[in-house]
Structure 1
Amino acid sequence: MSPTRRTTRRSLARRRVPRAAALALLLATATACANDVPKFDWSNGLLPEGVTEQAEVVQHLWNGAWIAALATGLVVIVLIVWAAIFHRKRRSKAELPPQVRYNLPIEILYTVIPLVMVSVFFFFTARDSKALTDVAGDAPVKVKVEAYQWSWRFTTTYNGKTTQPVPGMPVSDYREGPQLVLPTNTKVEFDLSTDDVIHSFWVPEFLFKRDIIPGIPEGNPGRKFEIKTLGDDRVGIYAGRCAELCGVDHSRMLFKVKLVKQAEFDQYIATQAGSAQ
């Protein structure tokens, strides 16, 4: 290879490194640029610790999919190594190995096994997807979520009392964004709406997110989802964000979810509903 070609290849490689780094940075920041990275744990399959019953459903599906995928990969690797070691024969370059037209039992096996695997994956995915999207309509706490460029407005209704919605502003820290207060060990129904562009409501500890699409009329099931918060051991503040690139200040479209005990939530509703609409 001539020195000119080597120099050209080296210069191309040097150009690709910054481009790859920029692409990786873009992918990492596409959902949000918040400074609130949830804690990931190997025991949770590198997912955040869930704070809802629905998060446990996602966790089990995630773990099961990884176990099945790793088991399948292990079987394939063992078969490859076994074939490479025990069926290796030295032949001359001119000599071809025996040519086999087909093996009906093997072909049937290779067709049936993937069909069974895909069917099993589909069954569990469909079952859990239905559990995550079902809305019974009997949640005692109802939250109306209004997304707009570039913040959130939350209206909570509980026991006939409605809090006054306070519009938020784009922020650089989720702790400064609008706050959604929810009680522990309670079912909550969310109604999502927007009047401008597509947004996405995401709290990582929910292990669930839902796109908010403009033009969907009120009462449409596609706007709603339900969660059941876990017990008092999950009390705390959790970061939320928009997970859909929605404009210039998308990265600052942050909010926080505060999980509190029932008594504190009752007090919060009593104080916030004084100027209810």
Structure 2
Amino acid sequence: MGVQLPKRPVSPWRRLALVSALGSGLLLLTSCSAEVRDEWKRGAMPEPATKEAWQILEFWQWSWVVALLTGALVWGLIFWVIWRYRRRHDDDVPVQTRYNLPLEIFYTIAPMIMILVLFSHTVRIQHDLTEIPEADHTVVVVGQQWSWTFNYVDEPVADGKNVYEFGTGSYIPTLVLPVDESVRFELHSPDVIHSFWITGFLYKEDVIPGRVNEFVVTPDKEGTYSGKCAELCGTYHSRMLFNVEVVSREEYDAYLQDRIEAGFVSDDVILGGKEATTQAGLESDTTEGGTE
């Protein structure tokens, strides 16, 4: 028989510290701003800015729900086993079980079912996002070392010409899109692999030399969003930034007209090279659109 030691009384100061810690945690959670609480609900994902992005957000959220439930189940079973089969005061070793066939079948089949469900949803969403339907607008995007060129093609306001915008290492270009109208992006690169990523769209696509990747989105919320290259593409990779403005159709048409009046019009699509300042930002050029 083991000797049972008397229980040590809990100090009032320890209880006070525990209550204070719990109270501070609850106060911290309740004092978060509405924006922070929304970020927690989205799992730290940006707020979707296109109709297609909602599929990605919902899949992301449910993946976290499944992961948390799985973690709670596993950790719950671990702590239950630790408590249920702990060594007693009589020092007897708990009964050892070599195998449990139903349990082994469960922890083999259950993960397979989870993976198959997640895989099926991944394939469905990927199919929806990579489908290329007819779009209202087409923007030919060029990712070059180290900036971006945007060609607005098939626009009536351009009078048959191509309106474009390009940046340099010292000038961040802006991509303007109309709200609630679908846009098809054609991605080109004259040098190395880049990655076209608009964070609010929750989607990115590689920009590969010799290959034209495409995707279609429909921006459904006006606002300003950030864009960047998500592929390490060279020394000045960090300069490959751009802004995205989702505006009304009237503002979109006015923007194209302003570009035409400013002379940013070409008979051909600009696919990199001298006009797009392929190795931009190495000079002292700070003029809008990279012009000297």
TM-score by length of 2: 0.71
Query: How far apart in 1 are the matches of 2:165 and 2:50?
Result: 25
Structure 1 partner of 2:55:
57
Structure 1 partner of 2:187:
192
1:48 is paired with a residue whose SS is coil
Asked whether the equivalents of residues 163 and 272 of structure 1 are also in contact (C-alpha less than 8 Å), the reply is no
The correspondence for 1:257, drawn from 222, 244, 255, is 244
Distance 1:76 1:130, change over 3 A: same
Query: How far apart in 2 are the matches of 1:111 and 1:236?
Result: 47
Query: How far apart in 2 are the matches of 1:145 and 1:243?
Result: 15
Structure 2 partner of 1:71:
69
Matched, 1:148 2:144: yes
Structure 1 partner of 2:135:
139
Query: How far apart in 2 are the matches of 1:44 and 1:109?
Result: 31
* Equivalenced residues, count: 226
**5+ residue gaps, structure 1:** 1-38
Matched, 1:42 2:37: no
Structure 2 partner of 1:229:
219
The letter for the 2-side match of 1:82 is W
Query: How far apart in 2 are the matches of 1:228 and 1:178?
Result: 21
- How much does 1:209 deviate? 0.9
Structure 2 partner of 1:80:
78
User: What's the CA shift string for 1:200-244, capped at 9, x where partnerless?
Assistant: 11111111111111121x5xxxx10111110xxx32222211111
Q: Which structure has more RCO (C-alpha within 8 Å, separation ≥ 6)?
A: 1
**5+ residue gaps, structure 2:** 1-35, 268-292
Give every structure 1 segment of 4 or more consecutive aligned residues whose post-TM-superposition deviation is greater than 6 Å.
none
Q: Give the percent of matched residue pairs that are identical in Structure 1 and Structure 2.
A: 40
- Higher-Rg member (1/2): 2
TM-score by length of 1: 0.75
CA RMSD of aligned residues (A): 2.3
Query: How far apart in 1 are the matches of 2:252 and 2:154?
Result: 10
The letter for the 2-side match of 1:113 is A
Aligned pairs for 1:104-253 (under 5 A) are 104-136=101-133, 138-160=134-156, 161=158, 162-171=161-170, 176-216=171-211, 218=212, 223-230=213-220, 234-253=221-240
Asked whether the equivalents of residues 163 and 269 of structure 1 are also in contact (C-alpha less than 8 Å), the reply is no
Query: How far apart in 1 are the matches of 2:59 and 2:110?
Result: 21
Asked whether the equivalents of residues 146 and 168 of structure 2 are also in contact (C-alpha less than 8 Å), the reply is yes
Asked whether the equivalents of residues 163 and 273 of structure 1 are also in contact (C-alpha less than 8 Å), the reply is no
